[in-house]
Chains A and B, each alone.
Chain A
Amino acid sequence: MNAFELDKVSFTYPSGTQALTDVSFVVEEGSSVALLGSNGAGKSTLLDLLLGLHPNGSITLYGKNLAAYGRKEVGRLVALVPQSEQFNFSFTLLEYTLFGRSPYLRQMQSPTALDAQIAFDALLEVGLAGFEERSITSLSGGEHQLLLIARAIAQQSRILLLDEPTSALDPANRRRTLSLLKGLHSKGKTLLFSTHDVNFAAELATHVVMLKGGRILGAGPIEEVVNAQALTTLYETEMQVGTIGSQTIMY
């Protein structure tokens, strides 16, 4: 069954800005989909729609209309890793990761020891084990990103939505994040991420969706859709596609 199906999705903000027009594509279960496009192409809006933030009757999640799901139900199926998050309170890393367990908690229930173990495991998986008691306000940019992913892992969802996961990372942390996400994908998670880093997309994605001016420019398996001409049209600048060893490079 497909994770997401979008059928001619359009969206206009209350201000009147048309963000998306007739967007249709399918996200297969277990795939890794890169959302490519220039600034303002509609990538973040699309992620918001897939999260259910703006109810839309043209999106299905595992065959059921997304708008018909309850909030916690969606939370158990879809997790979000935002581009960044402002930390105004000094939660510990463990407390913050435990927030990912919320879709599983009943009204007024607090996390159990099992939830805590899942959060510990998530921190271990992203390489932040041993820092559980540290304050989230003391994290570096790279650790910040890893923590956001840890919370999403603790959510134990089948789908992970990531908004520009490498936009603020140095090369070492970019590599760390890439390797972490590859690992999650190999374990069967469906990934859908927006990015300006086309080489990150080439390394992680099995499929791409190219958005231009809120419309689909191309969607499908990466090797079928991505070429120099398509990228040049997408970004309105000269782009090339080559290989180094077995790795596809775009520049």
Chain B
Amino acid sequence: MTDSHGYEQQIKRRRGALATMVVAPLLFAFISLFFGRYPKAGFTLPLDWQTNVMMRKIILNVRLPRIALALLAGSMLSASGYAFQMLFSNPLVEPGFLGVSQGSAFGAALMIVLGASSTLSVQLSATFFGLLALAASYFLARRFRFGGWLLRLVLSGIAVSAIFSSALAVVKLVAEPTKDLQDITFWMMGGLWNASWGQLFSILPVVLLSQVVIISQRWKLNLLSLGEKTSFSIGVNPKRDRTLLLVVATVGTTLVISITGLIGWVGLITPHIARKLFGSESSFSLPASMIFGSFFLLFSDTLGRTLLPTEIPIGLLTSLFGAIAFIIILSLRNQEGKV
């Protein structure tokens, strides 16, 4: 690229690549409708669709909301991970690193043990404690007197995560073993097996809104990654914008994990893959990361519910695949923006 014409060509090429990529998770979502353990394990085309009421109900009321939740959750976790990495100018950060996931898990577990009957109260509690953990990590990092800002942030995140993990362990100790403890354990491993239309719609508006806000601020994410003084000098209000985006990303994430439980690695790994293809500038790598996230979660969930007679928790699969992808990416030559 040697002039603005080349720049325009690159934008067009990347736009085309992104549009093509959207097809992959949608196509896989359609195919995934026919994967499961009914009427037999594996892939089954519902040729008796007209007469088989059970099959119709499973596809429309069990698999479809679950697939929709996987797409929504995958894109949200990726968007938050991406936003966190840019906002903290650290490619190794995701909400989990700053205590948000552990805080949310504690919030949800607490509500379960307290006997909360509604999904809403669990969601609110998870969101509240997720935000509390984020704020605690941020302010602790400001108080620490050791190392640079990023190191302090990661250290405070570790400390806050550990505190909420301990608190969660205490909650598990006092939890009623036959019901509450199982629910909490589900939380820790992550899974989409209790997805329903009701649950999906309960988080859909806010999660979609979070995604729209993050995508609309994708250019600003670049600027905020440059540090406070520089971003300020090019017309950004870093304190206000960073706080807004952190809150939006955290609320979106905690709402998702209030239903899915803790799903690790998605928010960490998909931004790295997207940057390898579309470069570090967020205009294309952010939406690409969200598309990868949708696909990654859907793929892991489909595998998890099909492979064995017992369902494999999705968090285990995303950790496995995520860690493998992470090793591969870090071993590749440091070259980005192939598209």
Q: Is B236 part of the binding interface, using a Cβ–Cβ cutoff of 8 Å?
A: yes
Chain A at the B interface: mostly helix, strand, loop or mixed?
mixed
Chain A residue contacts of B89, Cβ below 8 A = 86, 88-89
Q: Is A10 part of the binding interface, using a Cβ–Cβ cutoff of 8 Å?
A: no
Chain B residue contacts of A108, Cβ below 8 A = 216-217, 219
Q: Is B283 part of the binding interface, using a Cβ–Cβ cutoff of 8 Å?
A: yes
CA distance A202 to B47 in the complex (A): 86
Q: How many residues belonging to B are interface residues under a CB distance threshold of 8 Å?
A: 36
Which of A75, A107, A114, A137 makes the CB contact (< 8 A) with B234?
A75
Chain B at the A interface: mostly helix, strand, loop or mixed?
loop
Q: How many residues belonging to A are interface residues under a CB distance threshold of 8 Å?
A: 44
For window 266-290 of B, CB contacts with A under 8 Å fall at 275, 279-281, 283
By beta carbon, the residue of chain B nearest A148 is B230
Do the beta carbons of A99 and B222 come within 8 Å of each other? yes
Chain A residue contacts of B3, Cβ below 8 A = 117, 120
Q: A88-B91, A90-B334 are in contact. Are A103 and B234 (CB under 8 A)?
A: yes
Chain A residue contacts of B337, Cβ below 8 A = 92, 133
Closest Cβ of chain B to A69, distance in Å, is: 11
Chain A residue contacts of B230, Cβ below 8 A = 80, 82, 85
Which of B7, B90, B236, B280 makes the CB contact (< 8 A) with A116?
B7
Chain A residue contacts of B280, Cβ below 8 A = 89-91, 95
By beta carbon, the residue of chain B nearest A75 is B235
Chain A residue contacts of B233, Cβ below 8 A = 51, 75, 78-80, 82, 161
CA distance A92 to B223 in the complex (A): 14
Which residues of chain B have a CB within 8 Å of any CB of chain A? 1-5, 7-8, 86, 89-91, 216-217, 219, 222-223, 225-227, 229-230, 232-237, 275, 279-281, 283, 334-337
Which residues of chain A have a CB within 8 Å of any CB of chain B? 48, 51-53, 71-72, 74-76, 78-80, 82, 85-86, 88-92, 94-95, 99-100, 102-103, 105, 107-110, 113-114, 116-117, 120, 130, 132-133, 135, 137, 151, 155, 161
19 extra interface residue pairs, beta carbon distance < 8 Å, beyond A53-B232, A86-B89, A95-B281: A53-B229, A71-B235, A71-B236, A74-B235, A75-B233, A82-B233, A85-B230, A86-B227, A90-B336, A92-B337, A95-B280, A99-B234, A105-B219, A107-B216, A110-B219, A113-B7, A116-B7, A120-B4, A133-B337
* A-B contact list, 13 entries, CB within 8 Å: A51-B233, A85-B227, A92-B337, A95-B222, A102-B236, A108-B217, A110-B283, A114-B4, A116-B8, A117-B3, A120-B2, A120-B4, A133-B337
